[in-house]
């Protein structure tokens, strides 16, 4: 479990660097019914959102944004997944190595197709489960 936690921290750090360098897509599509609140995991209400890392994070109710704002790093991976689902972020490189993507390695993570540079990175992601796997998807190289 410590290895997964360390991996998550490394991936979150790399994503923060990419966002700081302006590698965020600006095109946003309307949230679908599949989009979940990063705090409660319930369906979102598009009227309840906050700006986070130059994008919108949607919530199920007016109470969840305050919870999110108290500890954004705790909810960042699920917020990033939501940003991918709504088209605000897209994958541009392997989340582990930063190398070009190989479409043959794509797997479904949280309803989003995630690709990797090689079969080794794909296997690493497939071995992760639940929120750990969402963290991998949401913390990929984005632009």
Decide: helix, strand or coil at residue 24.
Answer: coil
Instruction: Name the pairing type of β-strands 141-142 and 91-93.
Output: antiparallel
**How many Å apart are CA 72 and CA 12, to the nearest integer?**
12
**Would the pTM count as exceeding 0.85?**
no
- Checking if the pLDDT of 20 tops 70, the result is no
Alpha carbon distance 68, 72 (integer Å): 5
**Per-residue pLDDT, 90:** 86
**Is 65 or 140 the better-scoring residue by pLDDT?**
65
Angle between helix 119-127 and 130-138 (nearest 10): 140
**Contact at 8 Å (CB) between 83 and 31?**
no
Mean pLDDT of 119-129: 88
pLDDT one-digit tens code per residue, 30-51: 566 689 999 999 999 999 999 9
pLDDT-derived band at 25 (thresholds 50, 70, 90) equals very low
């Amino acid at each position: 479990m410590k290895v997964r936690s360390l991996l998550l921290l490394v991936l979150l750090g790399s994503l923060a660097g990419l966002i700081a360098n302006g590698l965020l897509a600006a095109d946003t599509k309307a949230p679908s019914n599949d989009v979940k609140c990063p705090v409660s995991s319930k369906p979102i209400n598009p009227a309840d959102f906050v700006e986070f890392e130059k994008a919108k994070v949607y919530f199920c109710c007016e109470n969840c944004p305050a919870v999110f704002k108290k500890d954004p790093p705790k909810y960042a991976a699920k917020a990033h997944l939501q940003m991918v689902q709504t088209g605000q972020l897209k994958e541009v490189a392997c989340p582990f190595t930063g190398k070009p993507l190989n479409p043959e390695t794509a797997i479904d993570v949280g309803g989003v197709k995630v690709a990797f540079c090689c079969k080794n990175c794909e296997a690493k992601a497939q071995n992760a489960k639940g929120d750990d796997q969402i963290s991998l998807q949401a913390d990929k190289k984005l632009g």
